Amino acid sequence: MAFNRMESATYLASLLAKGFSRALQERGQKLGFAPGQFPVLLELWSEEGLTQKQLLDRLDIEQATMANTLARMERDGLITRRQHPYDRRSQQIFLTERAREIEAAAKEAALAAEQSLLSGFRRFERELMLEYMRMALANTARNGDVS
């Protein structure tokens, strides 16, 4: 059987992820954040003072990737780190005022990126696509296919 990449969910999902990332990058760059930083920002906007380990567990990404992302975010003035009051081995991560100030605009940028990629979709098509994406993600988590 011949492999047709345009019939491959894996291939299409990869292209779609790149498309969303590029669309968010264009918008986020103007605000001072990168697409890879957006999930961290979302977690910290929801709850500050998390440790790197807590962020790793919540976002399910590699430790080295998280360390690099946090280092860039600190360099870019989005986060600060403070010694954990009860665990001398870890640090808590807090947003800077600058990061707090861009929250609404960053979320709007993410919505605009999504809108641009899903333009032409009817509401039920968009809702179905999101539901199918959640189902596929649940399958990958259940099957251990996502690290």
Buried b (16+ CB within 10 A) or exposed e, 33-50: bbbbbbebbebbbeeeeb
Structural domains of the chain sorted by starting position, each given as residue range(s) with its CATH number in brackets: 9-32+102-147 (no CATH), 33-97 (1.10.10.10)
Q: pTM for this structure?
A: 0.86
Q: What is the pLDDT of residue 146?
A: 55
Residue 98: Cβ-neighbour burial (10 angstroms; 0-12, 13-18, 19+):
middle
Which CA distances in Å does 76 have to 21, 38, 42? Answer: 19, 13, 17
Q: Which DSSP category does 49 fall into? A: S
Q: What is the pLDDT of residue 51?
A: 95
- Which residues of the chain fall short of a pLDDT of 70? 145-147
Q: What's the CA gap between 70 and 44, in Å, rounded?
A: 12
